[in-house]
Amino acid sequence: MKVLVTGASGFLGKYVISELVSLNYEIETIGRSESSTIISDISEVVPVISSPYDFIIHIAGKAHIVPKTSKENQEFYDVNFRGTQNLLKSLEITPKSIVFISTVSVYGLDYGDNITEEAPLNAKDSYGKSKIQAEKLITEWGKSKNVTITILRLPLLFGINPPGNLKSMINAIHKRRYFNIGKGDVRKSMVFAKDVAMFIPKIMSIGGIYNLTDGYHPSFKELSDLISKHHNTLKPKIIPIDLARMIALIGDLIQKITKKTMPINKNRFNKMTKSLTFNDKKARAHGWQPYSILENPEIWL
């Protein structure tokens, strides 16, 4: 079977390609990289696609930054929504199914426990809103073309050399600049990129919308203790909640004056003091059996 993958050179894309290769799929890729089968920036143009594909796995997207300008905000829509739109316009021959990689950010929640796929999509940030628009577009397109659509909503991704907040956390712990707030018992949903890659071939012919997590949702303390042990550093220090709140308020004030993001601000304080976990029961009914983040550090450390 023939598969087209977007975002193949990215963090998750590399895991997906590796899995597809192991299953002997015929793979083509589309992206800006010269290693892509089809070289095209789908955020700007409609690519020329002449071959038919059985499956399409759409991973390409923009994330991992906090936009500071209107231009940076617009980039989320250009890549996540318009990129999806241009990809769909290019498909003269419809595939059997499309897998779209989305995010739990579409729910627009800063805290909550055991959140299911039925929760309303209330994202207010550019990243979450652009993914909502892309989800809606690809779902409606799939219905009109009788193409099976699978949407995977992912939390924080783990793996070797991860991007974003996890990379920042590991680096800070390694340099002994990381700290936990209060007891550090706030829990967050997380998932291995390799598990996501292994699940895609199982679910892409079935369709539906699924949250994916490791099922345990490690706390900040559990995670930071494991990382510090691996790097043979002292366990992270603890800052009392009231002191951290005061520092966050000062951080916000400095941000307004300098226009520079501070390591501690109100937004980061809220994320570090409130749990946010998601329910993956729906995916488990279709064979989702992820590794535990804490029990398998050799996969990502």
Per-residue pLDDT of 51-101, as tens digits, reads: 999 999 999 999 877 777 888 889 999 999 999 999 999 999 999 999 999
| Residue 111 covered by a domain | yes
Confidence band for 29, pLDDT divided at 50, 70 and 90: very high
Q: What percent of the chain has pLDDT over 90?
A: 79
| Residue 242 covered by a domain | no
Q: What is the pLDDT of residues 121-157, one digit of tens each?
A: 999 999 999 999 999 999 999 999 999 999 999 999 9
Confidence band for 231, pLDDT divided at 50, 70 and 90: confident
| Residue 221 covered by a domain | no
16: its two tokens: 């997906």
The CATH number of the domain holding residue 26 is: 3.40.50.720
- pLDDT, position 248: 93
| Residue 110 covered by a domain | yes
Assess whether pLDDT exceeds 80 at residue 272. yes
| Residue 232 covered by a domain | no
- pLDDT, position 89: 97
Give 33 or 116, the one with higher predicted confidence: 116
| Count of the separate structural domains present in the chain | 1
| Residue 264 covered by a domain | no
| Residue 6 covered by a domain | yes
- pLDDT, position 64: 76
- For 63, the domain range is 2-162+189-215+276-293
Confidence band for 278, pLDDT divided at 50, 70 and 90: very high
| Residue 226 covered by a domain | no
- pLDDT, position 123: 97
- pLDDT, position 22: 98
- pLDDT, position 261: 78
- pLDDT, position 260: 81
